[in-house]
Homo-oligomer: A and B are copies of this chain.
């Protein structure tokens, strides 16, 4: 059993999927350093504005980034504990030393 209540596998997989796209990952990593608005991210990534906006939408829907409108601009930042579940899961996985063989060969 994991230390805490683990989210359903599908939900956790969806979290990892957020970081599985190079562009989205680049956006998230950039937002680690500073808040940025869409135009900055377009410049930074070299992707089209619609593409960046599309990924920002996904990240917003997932709750890992938040956008604050300020005039024509929208400043994006990472939400505080958006990656807690992933971090916990990975910590568990990463600490595996040498798993035992508990089961007999298949009953099938």
> A-side interface residues toward B, CB under 8 Å?
9-10, 12-14, 16-17, 19-22, 24-26, 28-29, 31-37, 39-40, 43, 73, 75, 77-78, 80-81, 83-84, 86-87, 89-94, 96-103, 105-108
Give Cα A73–Cα B21 distance, bound, in whole angstroms.
Answer: 35
Give Cα A84–Cα B91 distance, bound, in whole angstroms.
Answer: 9
Do residues B37 and A99 form an inter-chain contact, with CB atoms below 8 A?
no
Do residues A34 and B94 form an inter-chain contact, with CB atoms below 8 A?
no
Give Cα A103–Cα B34 distance, bound, in whole angstroms.
Answer: 8
Do residues B106 and A39 form an inter-chain contact, with CB atoms below 8 A?
yes
Do residues B37 and A25 form an inter-chain contact, with CB atoms below 8 A?
no
Q: How far is the CB of A1 from chain B (nearest CB, A)?
A: 9
